[in-house]
Structure 1
C-alpha cells in the first residue's frame, strides 16, 4: 500500500523550478544545523528574564531526544521517500546546484518526517517555555513555522503528506508528554538530557552503530554530564555560603 495520495504530481505540474530553491532554503528552519545554532545563540544571549538559560537547556535536551525518536522510528518502519522530486540538482547553474543538493534533497527513510518532528518539538517547546510577548503569539509563530517546514518537505518531494502529518503529531505528543514529566521534577534540564540519553540508547539498539546514532547518544550523554556537573557545582556553592 502506498502512502502517496497523488498530491505531489499536481504540485509539481504547476510550480516553477525557482520555487524549489526557495522551498529548499525555507526547509532549513527545521534542519538540525539550524535549530542547533538557534539554541546555542539563545543560550549564549539569555538574560534569564525573557530567555532563561535553564529553559534553553531543557529545550536542547528534549530536542536531542526527539531526533533520536524520529531516527529510531524511521529505521523501525523503513518506508521509502517519494520517487519524484520537485527539481533535479542539475537544473540549477553554478554554485546554486550544490546549495540545492545540501538543502533540498534527502536520503534514508521517509516515515516519519524528521523535519516535522524537529520543528514541532523545537518551536513548540520554545513557545511553551520562553516569555517573549504573549503565549498566544508564541504558539501562533510556532504553528506558522511548523506549517511552513512541513509544506516545504512535501513540495520538495522528499516526503509524502502522511509523513509530515505523522511527524508533527508525534512532535506534539512528545512536547505534551515531556511537559507533564518535567513538571514533576526540580531540575528540568538534567531530566531532559536524561530522557534524551535513554532514547539515544534505544535508537542505538534499533538503528545500530552509525554516525547518526552514536552522535545522538554521545551528545545526549555529554549534555547530561554537563548538567549534573553544574548541579553539583551549584550545590557546593550553596553549602559553602
Structure 2
C-alpha cells in the first residue's frame, strides 16, 4: 500500500529548521489530553452561557398568564458535556481503526533542530518519537472532531468563520504530523476523512435519539471505547477511554438528577458505570487511569449544576420584581 512515502521523503529534505520547530508546537493542539481539555472546556462554556446552541438549550416559553417569556429547563434541553462525550468517542474510534489496520509509522526520524533550546529538547523528542500504529492519524481525526465540534456548538462569529477556523487548525495539526515525519500523507488524509465522517454521523445520531444528547454521546463513546479495548488487547489508551466514558456518563447521570431523574435509577447507574471503570482498570493493571476518569466524571456533572444555579437565579430575579 503506497501511503505517500516519496512525498514524505521530498518534504523531509526541503524543510527549514524553523518550520520543524513550529510543527512541534502546533502538533500539541492534537494531543489527546489537549483535545479532552478543549472538549471539557467547551462543555462548561455551553452550560455557563445557558444553552445558546442548537444541540441543547433553554427555550423561552410564553406563560398563558404572563405576557413576558420565561425560561424553562426541561430534561431534554439541559446543557451537558455532550461535546466531551463525542470527543472521547472519536478518539476511541480511531484507536480501534489503528489496531484494525496495524500499519507502521515512518522509519525516519527528524533530527533535533539547532534552534531548539536544550531545556526543550525532551519535549521535542517526545513529539517525534511515537510508538503505536500510524493509520489513520489520530491527531488528524481528533483535531477534525474536536475543533469541528467547537465550530458547530459555539456561537462565536459567523458559521462560515467558525468552520474556516476549525479547518485551518485541524489542517495545521495534520500537516505538522508530516513535517515531523511521524505519519505518511495517506495517514493524515484518511484521518481527516474519518474525523469528518464520524463527526457528521455522531451529530446526526444525537439529533435522532430520544434520550438526552449527553447520555447518548457518552453511551456512544463507551461503546466505541469497548471496541477499542477489545481490538487493542487492553492497551493503556483504550483503558483510558473506557474509564473516561464510563465515569463521564456516570457523572452526568448524577448531575442531571436536578432535572428530573430518579435518585434510585441514577444511583444504580453511577454504581454500575463506576464498576465498569474499576474492573477494566484492574484487568489492565492501570488503576491510576481510573482516577483520571473519576475526575473527569465529577467535572462532567458540573455543567448541570451550573445550569441549575443559573435557572434558580433567573427565577429569583423574576420573583423579586
Contact 2:42 2:83 in 1 (8 A): no
Q: Which residue does 2:147 correspond to in 1?
A: 123
What is the alpha-carbon distance in structure 1 between the residues aligned to residue 192 and residue 82 of structure 2? 20
- Residue range with higher mean Cα deviation, 95-104 or 192-201: 95-104
Q: Which residue does 1:221 correspond to in 2?
A: 246
Contact 2:90 2:142 in 1 (8 A): yes
Give the TM-score normalised by structure 1: 0.90
Q: Which residue does 2:184 correspond to in 1?
A: 160
Contact 1:81 1:159 in 2 (8 A): yes
Q: Which residue does 1:107 correspond to in 2?
A: 131
What is the alpha-carbon distance in structure 1 between the residues aligned to residue 141 and residue 15 of structure 2? 26
Contact 1:29 1:119 in 2 (8 A): yes
Q: Secondary structure at the match of 1:21?
A: helix
What is the alpha-carbon distance in structure 1 between the residues aligned to residue 79 and residue 37 of structure 2? 16
- Residue range with higher mean Cα deviation, 82-91 or 133-142: 82-91
Distance 1:55 1:143, change over 3 A: farther
Q: Cα offset for 1:76?
A: 1.1
Give the TM-score normalised by structure 2: 0.68
What is the alpha-carbon distance in structure 2 between the residues aligned to residue 137 and residue 195 of structure 1? 29
Q: Secondary structure at the match of 1:6?
A: helix
- Residue range with higher mean Cα deviation, 192-201 or 180-189: 180-189
Q: Cα offset for 1:153?
A: 0.6
What is the alpha-carbon distance in structure 1 between the residues aligned to residue 105 and residue 114 of structure 2? 20
Q: Which residue does 2:14 correspond to in 1?
A: 14
Q: Secondary structure at the match of 2:131?
A: coil
5+ residue gaps, structure 1, are none
Contact 1:120 1:146 in 2 (8 A): yes
What is the alpha-carbon distance in structure 2 between the residues aligned to residue 134 and residue 92 of structure 1? 38
5+ residue gaps, structure 2, are 58-77, 263-307, 309-321
Contact 1:42 1:56 in 2 (8 A): no
Q: Which residue does 2:284 correspond to in 1?
A: none
Q: Does 1:212 align with 2:237?
A: yes
Q: Cα offset for 1:55?
A: 5.9
Contact 2:20 2:113 in 1 (8 A): no
Distance 1:23 1:49, change over 3 A: same
Contact 2:128 2:181 in 1 (8 A): no
Q: Which residue does 1:42 correspond to in 2?
A: 42
What is the alpha-carbon distance in structure 2 between the residues aligned to residue 55 and residue 27 of structure 1? 30
**Structure showing greater Rg:** 2
- Residue range with higher mean Cα deviation, 26-35 or 224-233: 224-233
Q: Which residue does 1:87 correspond to in 2?
A: 111
Q: Cα offset for 1:49?
A: 5.4
Deviations 1:192-215 (A, max 9, x none): 000000111111111112221111
Distance 1:209 1:124, change over 3 A: same
Q: Which residue does 1:181 correspond to in 2?
A: 205
Q: Cα offset for 1:57?
A: 1.2
Deviations 1:170-192 (A, max 9, x none): 01000111111100135111100
Q: Cα offset for 1:40?
A: 3.1
Q: Cα offset for 1:56?
A: 6.7
Deviations 1:50-79 (A, max 9, x none): 578966711110111111111111111110
Deviations 1:100-119 (A, max 9, x none): 02334322110000000000
Q: Over aligned residues, Cα RMSD in angstroms?
A: 2.4
- Residue range with higher mean Cα deviation, 153-162 or 80-89: 80-89
